[in-house]
Amino acid sequence: MRNLSHAFAFLMIAALLLTACGAEVVEVEVVVTPTPIPIGRELIREGLSGPEVVLDPAEWPTSYEDAPMLQQMVDEGDLPPVEERLPLEPLVLRPLNEIGQYGGIVRRGFTGPGDAWNPKRYGAHDHILFWKYDMTEVIPNIAKGWERSDDGTEWTIFLREGMRWSDGAPFTSADFVFWFDDIYSNTEIIAVPGVDLPVGSQVVAVDETTVKYILPTPNFLFHQALAGFSLIASQANWGHTGMGGFAPAHYLKQYLPSYTSQEQVDAQADEAGFDNWVNLLKSKMSWQGNPDLPAVTPWTTSIAINNPSWVLERNPYYWEVDTAGNQLPYHDYIVLEVAESVDVINLRAVAGEYDFQARHLDIVNLPLFLENQERGGYNVFLDPTERGTQAGLIFNMSYDGDPEIVKWINSLEFRRAISLGIDREQINEAFFLGLAEGGNVLPVETNPFSPGADENGVLYRMYWHTYDPDTANQMLDDLGLTEKDADGNRLRTDNGEPLIFEVLAASEAFLPFPQISEMINDQWKEIGIQLDIRAVERSQGETMTAANQHQIWMWEVGDNIVSLASTAFPNGAGGYASGPLYGEWFDSRGASGLEPPPEMRRVMEMWYELGGFQTDEEVVAQVKEMWKIIADQTWTIGTVGAGPVIFGTRVVNKRMGNVAPRQIVNTAGMTPGLIRSEQFYYKDE
């Protein structure tokens, strides 16, 4: 628009000058070609909608209905009636549009054993508490309610009387105490306590349906930890690590030496091919890997993740009903077929082979998705995110390998300089169809936690994230990196070899991270910096980052600091990539690991302080100050975000009902968990 305005101004001035000189003015028809609107922009809808949890008992159903596949088992005497399987007060969900119909298989795609979060986000709704679909408030889930003490140190949750595990065993407060006392507090299983239940915490059973958390310091945000991505909120999400917040005591005691014997658990581990009993226990706690594990999710694993087809089937004891009294979920099965590559998943989606797929869909293929909607029998939805960057270069700030690389990773001016050498507009057009925005890891300005602009009107989200290779080159020269080889590559200051950084880029995961890294490498030729790009499978990369073996990890970054602290600094709940040794220090509250530099330590301390605030205004103000420090420090270089990219491109079977046309893309909300897949159903053709 700026160039167009300049053109009109030039024509007007020229006409005035010619008139003033007495010259004849010839009318010229000016044809202006409008700037093309990025494809798919019209699919980005305003507003949010979703199913609602009904809290008023007057609106609860008084009788219940069973799914046909379960009713058959009841009729054959293999299962108790639905009234006996549900808790006394099940969670009541008002579906988005209408009461659904039972039956059907949801077809999805996954990339293999490293893709466990795929159906966890879709169908593992076993959080103690959860978020409303718009993430404006915490609502009941497994727990029907909660209370906290005035000083924020005691939190009491109230379970649903009569609730059961998927095998029919009672689900009670004993399962929380068992997890805390026998698993979480055993240093052989959990070496370092998590940030939400630090040393000095207690979990006690008040009675069979009441659990009390006693914290050593006030935490007025503890209910958000029980609702989100934290390690104590969901057994299905974190059981494979020994975490989860609760566990089926009646099943797992056989794998603990305190309930059997050391000799027996050692023998079990040896027979199963594990090097110790702890690893055997964690495998038995794996929702994705152990079909025998009792769970409280809508669907449970019947064929494990390490098979070509990962199959989930409805949980006959699921604790949720719709407003008509139908036990949820509506669908009988979820079947995930493994694909040898992300490209195959995209091709299958185009062909209409999936019923609900957002994970691993590349937005570059949006024209194909749109072109084949009718033929494939699906609809396409775009869900923008407020996340800062979809492909960030995350520096390992605690890297202790090559001393020359350590020096430059820890140089603030170096990190800022090379960030200025990235052309984000080119990346946006090449990989995101121009639908995203360049910037750092900070959320977009519409987010209430965004710090907005500084006193000079410069957005904090753009700090050190404009394209300015001239300034970048000058800054690198000023740092002493003046020597170059014949190709213009800057040379190391210790041995005169080219200065090359290794970046681990996950392959076959959401985005073409290796290719994005290659584009950055090409752009950095202008400033003399090189990348050695190592494409790795996601789980391999995460293992390496946790072990402090990486220099740079490329991944998505930026979310809600309150519920997912890894967007700001390294910690165990969301990832150690920006400094594993510093993350251990944070998780252990200084008992182990490596003390971080002052600026990172200050952000960590500010995060701990959040729990002591009693008002939303105090929390928001503190988070804004944290984001300002993060923007200035550039521990991660952002590229492009705030668009319908990771999880933001959705392909949904046209027959599937109760699917929200717009959802929040958020890790704490377990997208698409916020719009609750248990109330999706197939309409009659």
Give 151-202 pLDDT, tens digit per residue.
999 999 999 999 999 999 999 999 999 999 999 999 999 988 888 898 999 9
CB 359 within 8 A of CB 508: no
3-state secondary structure of 210: strand
pLDDT over 80 (residue 26): no
- Greatest mean pLDDT among 2-6, 543-547, 551-555, 572-576 lies in 551-555
- What is the pLDDT at residue 469? 97
Tell me how far apart the alpha carbons of residues 402 and 551 are, in angstroms, rounded to a whole number.
9
- What is the pLDDT at residue 647? 79
More confident residue, 97 or 31: 97
Q: Once rounded to an integer, what is the mean pLDDT over residues 553-576? A: 74
Contacts 24+ apart (CB under 8 A), 71-77: 73/316
Tell me how far apart the alpha carbons of residues 298 and 266 are, in angstroms, rounded to a whole number.
33
More confident residue, 666 or 453: 453
Confidence class for position 2, pLDDT limits 50, 70, 90: very low
Cβ atoms within 10 Å of 642's Cβ, excluding its own? 25
Tell me how far apart the alpha carbons of residues 502 and 488 are, in angstroms, rounded to a whole number.
19
- What is the pLDDT at residue 509? 78
- What is the pLDDT at residue 14? 35
pLDDT over 80 (residue 573): no
Alpha-carbon torsion 139, 284, 182, 276, what sign? Answer: negative
pTM of the complete model: 0.86
Question: What is the enclosing helix (H) or strand (E) of 263?
Answer: helix 262-272
Name the least confident of 266-270, 510-514, 606-610.
Answer: 510-514
Closest Cα to residue 96, out of 683, 682, 680?
680
Tens of pLDDT, residues 662-681: 998 888 888 899 999 999 99
> What stretches of 304-350 adopt beta strand conformation (E)?
309-314, 320-322, 333-338
- What is the pLDDT at residue 622? 95
- What is the pLDDT at residue 478? 98
CB 206 within 8 A of CB 212: yes
pLDDT over 60 (residue 4): no
Tell me how far apart the alpha carbons of residues 558 and 541 are, in angstroms, rounded to a whole number.
19
- What is the pLDDT at residue 24? 43
Cα distances from 514 to residues 143, 376, 538, 604, in angstroms, run 43, 30, 12, 31
Tens of pLDDT, residues 238-292: 999 999 999 999 999 999 999 999 999 999 999 999 999 999 999 999 999 999 9
Confidence class for position 37, pLDDT limits 50, 70, 90: low
Q: Of all residues in the chain, what percent carry a pLDDT higher than 90?
A: 73
Q: Once rounded to an integer, what is the mean pLDDT over residues 598-621? A: 92
Tell me how far apart the alpha carbons of residues 498 and 500 are, in angstroms, rounded to a whole number.
6
- What is the pLDDT at residue 42? 67
| 205 Cβ neighbours under 8 A, 6+ residues apart | 172, 173, 174, 176, 177, 211, 212
- Greatest mean pLDDT among 227-231, 506-510, 567-571 lies in 227-231
Q: Once rounded to an integer, what is the mean pLDDT over residues 485-507? A: 95
Q: Once rounded to an integer, what is the mean pLDDT over residues 103-122? A: 93
Domains of the chain: 16-124+287-382+648-685 (3.40.190.10), 127-275 (3.40.190.10), 389-561+635-641 (3.10.105.10)
Tell me how far apart the alpha carbons of residues 134 and 80 are, in angstroms, rounded to a whole number.
36
Q: Which amino acid is at 25?
A: V
Please give the mean pLDDT across all residues of the chain: 90
- What is the pLDDT at residue 576? 67
CB 293 within 8 A of CB 287: yes
- R_g of the chain, CA atoms, integer Å: 27
Tell me how far apart the alpha carbons of residues 119 and 116 are, in angstroms, rounded to a whole number.
7
Tell me how far apart the alpha carbons of residues 572 and 585 are, in angstroms, rounded to a whole number.
10
Tell me how far apart the alpha carbons of residues 116 and 239 are, in angstroms, rounded to a whole number.
12
Tell me how far apart the alpha carbons of residues 137 and 571 are, in angstroms, rounded to a whole number.
25
Tens of pLDDT, residues 328-379: 999 999 999 999 889 999 999 999 999 999 989 988 899 999 999 999 999 9
Regarding beta strands 202-207 and 210-214, do their DSSP bridges make them parallel or antiparallel, or are they unpaired? Answer: antiparallel
- What is the pLDDT at residue 13? 31
3-state secondary structure string across 532-586: EEEEEEHHHHHHHHHCCCCCEEEEEECCCCCCCHHHCCCECCCECCCCHHHHHHH
Name the least confident of 247-256, 457-466, 517-526, 641-650.
Answer: 641-650
Q: Once rounded to an integer, what is the mean pLDDT over residues 133-139? A: 93
Question: What is the enclosing helix (H) or strand (E) of 618?
Answer: helix 616-633
- What is the pLDDT at residue 25? 37
- What is the pLDDT at residue 23? 38
Tell me how far apart the alpha carbons of residues 604 and 101 are, in angstroms, rounded to a whole number.
48
Tell me how far apart the alpha carbons of residues 243 and 225 are, in angstroms, rounded to a whole number.
13
Q: Once rounded to an integer, what is the mean pLDDT over residues 13-21? A: 34
Tens of pLDDT, residues 371-394: 999 999 999 999 888 778 888 999
More confident residue, 644 or 39: 644
pLDDT over 70 (residue 57): yes
Q: Once rounded to an integer, what is the mean pLDDT over residues 633-653? A: 89
Kindly state the tokens that stand for 75: 């009729």
| 511 Cβ neighbours under 8 A, 6+ residues apart | 362, 390, 391, 431, 556, 645, 646
